[in-house]
Amino acid sequence: MSDDCIFCSIVDGEIPARTVYETDEVLAFLDANPLARGHTLVIPKTHAERVGDLDADAASALFDAVSDLTSRVQDAVDADAANVGINDGEAAGQEVPHVHAHVVPRFEGDGGAPIHAVAGKRPDLSDDELDGIAEEVAAAIDV
């Protein structure tokens, strides 16, 4: 629990939310300012700011829940598809510093965009540059 975290306050019941799913590790509730009918947030109950801060158990519980809930949320509001995404860090648009996955139901002709629309101008990268980036990322992951 982080003292001044809105989502920890929701987990603790200090701030009301429209809860749609709950386990010992995970809570899912409707977004207060929905991008679409059924827009749902899925969070770990323990406070972690960034995806990389989650311990293995919390990460697995969170992504299991996202996997399980996405089609159910979609069906509940009779949507045709869904975007699933996490704003991981302020520069990526994260406003609430407690990890949360957005499940945004999508409807044919709703005028929205794919997740490719989230980034800025696309870089123009040569094959050599892409090779170099793949090497850097693989080395950083170091599996």
Interface residue list for ligand 5GP (CB under 6 A)? 6, 15, 17, 29-33, 41, 87, 93-96
**Judged by CB under 5 A, does residue 98 bind Zn ion?**
yes
Q: Which residue is nearest to Zn ion (CB)?
A: 5
Partner whose footprint covers residue 32, from Zn ion, ligand 5GP, none (CB < 5 to 8 Å by kind): ligand 5GP
Beta strand 26-30 pairing with 19-22: antiparallel
Secondary structure element (H or E) that encloses residue 66, with its range: helix 56-76
Element (H, E) at 91: none
How long is the chain? 143
What the block records as the tokens of 103 is 């499940």
**Is residue 100 annotated as part of the catalytic site, yes or no?**
yes
> Of the residues 39, 100, 102, 116, which is catalytic?
100
Residues engaged in binding Zn ion (CB under 5 A): 2, 5, 7-8, 47, 98
